[in-house]
Amino acid sequence: MTAQKIALVTGANRGIGLAISQKLAEQDMHVIMTARDKNLLQQECDTLKSAGYSVEGHVLDVTGYEQANALIAQLIAKHQRIDVLINNAGIAVDQWVPGSDVSMDVVKQTMETNCFASLNLIQQVLPHMKTTGYGRIVNMSTELASLEGMQMGMTLAYRASKAALNCITKIFSIELADYADIKINAAAPGWVKTNLGGDDAELTPEQGADTPVWLATLGSDGPSGDFYRERKVYPW
């Protein structure tokens, strides 16, 4: 019998992260759900637990590295491994703000949350994935970060943070060339109806979760080091 897979999802108390958590739990994974808002996290965790899913919740601000690193150590001690990391937590504070008007505080906060915090979590889980020889890392990106597809200005902090995250995805995939069953990819969920995406968005969180969940459950012959939207390669 193969051991139950252990997945860690950031930003799991609402939106796409919550939908990803449920979908992974539906595939018999044990899902560690994390976010900052304790009450909402507890509520969503309890709902999934009472529906029979295997989940646990932990308050985590991903930008607090000491807290994040202590949590990873605690989770490894408890579960012996983390098989799947979904770097989903994200903010988009400067939506439709011109680059010349965005404050450095917003740029730094956005880079910290969307990019540096994801890098930190990758660095924390990778040694354990290398020990087991198995891992799936999914970095939540956006088509707005595609350099090839870039045709409009605005939203500089958000888009630059995700373009940097794309770059991090590619670099790690190259460094992981000797680990065939550790895969790292970036996912663009589409325009999704959430707090971040707004009410006019076209997709449900469940639809937005499809590509990241697909990447999190790739078989051993699956791809690594690419950017996907609707399960198809999207230009960097």
Ligand X SMILES: NC(=O)c1ccc[n+]([C@@H]2O[C@H](COP(=O)([O-])OP(=O)(O)OC[C@H]3O[C@@H](n4cnc5c(N)ncnc54)[C@H](OP(=O)(O)O)[C@@H]3O)[C@@H](O)[C@H]2O)c1
Nearest distance from residue 60's CB to ligand X, in Å? 6
For residue 106, how many other CB atoms are within 10 A of its CB? 17
Q: Is 43 in the site for ligand X (CB under 6 A)?
A: no
Q: Is 197 in the site for ligand X (CB under 6 A)?
A: yes
Query: Which pairs count as long-range contacts for 34-40, CB under 8 Å and 24+ apart, including other chains?
Result: 34/8, 34/9, 34/10, 34/58, 34/59, 34/60, 34/62, 34/71, 34/89, 35/10, 35/11, 35/59, 35/60, 35/89, 36/60, 36/61, 37/13, 40/13, 40/14
The catalytic position among 134, 158, 228, 234 is 158
Query: What is the C-alpha separation between 163 and 127, in angstroms, rounded?
Result: 25
- Nearest to 145, CA basis, from 130, 133, 155: 155
Among the listed residues 7, 9, 14, 45, the single contact to ligand X using CB under 6 A: 14
Candidate ranges 43-51, 90-98, 149-157, 226-234; the one touching ligand X (CB under 6 A): 90-98
Q: Report phi then psi at 187, rounded to 5.
A: -130, 135
Q: Report phi then psi at 60, rounded to 5.
A: -150, 120
# residues contacting ligand X (CB under 6 A): 30
Nearest distance from residue 225's CB to ligand X, in Å? 19
Q: What would the x/- binding string for ligand X be over residues 147 to 186, using CB under 6 A?
A: ----------------------------------------
- Nearest to 49, CA basis, from 72, 27, 25: 25
Nearest distance from residue 221's CB to ligand X, in Å? 27
Q: Is 124 in the site for ligand X (CB under 6 A)?
A: no
Among the listed residues 6, 8, 13, 160, the single contact to ligand X using CB under 6 A: 13
Q: How do beta strands 6-10 and 84-87 pair? A: parallel
Active site residue 234: no
Nearest distance from residue 1's CB to ligand X, in Å? 33
Q: Is 10 in the site for ligand X (CB under 6 A)?
A: yes
Give the active site residues. 158
Judged by the rule CB under 6 A, the positions of this chain that interact with ligand X are 10-11, 13-17, 35-37, 60-63, 88-92, 113, 140, 142, 189, 191-192, 194-197, 201
